[in-house]
Amino acid sequence: MRRAALKFACSLCGCRTPRADCPRCGERQLTLSEKPPPVPDDAETVTLDEIAEAARHEREAEAARIARLAGPGRTIRVGLVSCAKTKRESASPCRQLYKSPLFVLSLAHAEGTCDETFVISAAHGLLRLDDTVAPYDRVLGDLPKRERLAWGNRVAGSLASRFPGLSLRISILAGLEYAAPIQRASLGHGWVIETPLARLSIGLRLAWLKERGKTRAS
């Protein structure tokens, strides 16, 4: 098999082609880092124009969706489901990342009663259900009050940008540590905020959600 040429002549034997009997040549074999990067196939490349076009289509689709939801004088129901400590071990869409029974029941209730549903994440703020997120370890209740309030402002700001100037009824399916910062940050927006689980224990939250699930199924 033909040996790859060295980038520089060997300092010991002076050859550019590695010699089997030269110890220095053995140390100077072509490394992976020295190999030129592969040339991408045209089918694998994406141009800036294509990226901009995809972003434009996404914005237009989002605007059309909001217009359908809003309607004349209609209030949009938005469900916010708290993230959970129990997660999958690899990056997954939000609706699949969290595995706790409380999250599963909360998500089912929100999707069954609201027009739009999002996850409220201690690490990422407002997330769509199809957003892919890697596992993380952050609990909102462990943060200082100032950071919790900033997080609430972040979530409220994301909602305001998604539903600009629209009437919202927001159901926060989360404990008080998640609900309170969002509720406070929402005061200036005129939204109706519901926090049915905020002051309930985990067991009572599960019972509340199961009862509502039976009602929807009947």
DSSP conformational letter for 201: -
| Same domain (yes/no): 105, 192 | yes
| Same domain (yes/no): 95, 180 | yes
Give the pLDDT score at 24. Answer: 63
| Same domain (yes/no): 23, 108 | no
Structural domain contains residue 48: no
Closest of 211, 217, 210, 163 to residue 186, by C-alpha: 163
| Same domain (yes/no): 102, 159 | yes
Contact assessment for residue 116 and residue 157, using Cβ atoms and an 8 Å cutoff: no
Cβ-Cβ contacts under 8 Å for 91 (sequence gap 6 or more): 97, 132, 133, 134, 135
| Other C-beta atoms lying within 10 Å of the C-beta of residue 46 | 9
* Cα distances (angstroms) measured from residue 80 to each of 19, 84, 171, 210: 67, 13, 6, 18
Structural domain contains residue 52: no
Band (pLDDT 50/70/90 cuts) for residue 208 is very high
Structural domain contains residue 33: yes
| Same domain (yes/no): 28, 112 | no
pLDDT tens digits for 3-14? Answer: 555 455 666 666
CATH (domain of 155) = 3.40.50
Number of structural domains the chain divides into: 2
| Boundaries of domain holding 193 | 73-217
Helix (H) or strand (E) holding 95: helix 94-97
Give the pLDDT score at 53. Answer: 83
Structural domain contains residue 68: no
Structural domain contains residue 141: yes
Structural domain contains residue 59: no
Rounded mean pLDDT, 187-207: 96
Band (pLDDT 50/70/90 cuts) for residue 132 is very high
Q: How many CA atoms lie within 13 A of 71 on its CB side?
A: 7
Token duo for residue 167: 């009437």
Rounded mean pLDDT, 82-103: 96
Of 7-21, 76-90, 108-122, 130-144, the range with the lowest mean pLDDT is 7-21
Closest of 204, 168, 208, 174 to residue 188, by C-alpha: 168
| Same domain (yes/no): 30, 117 | no
| Same domain (yes/no): 144, 88 | yes
What is the reported pTM? Answer: 0.72
| Same domain (yes/no): 29, 87 | no
Structural domain contains residue 62: no
Structural domain contains residue 27: yes
| Same domain (yes/no): 115, 178 | yes
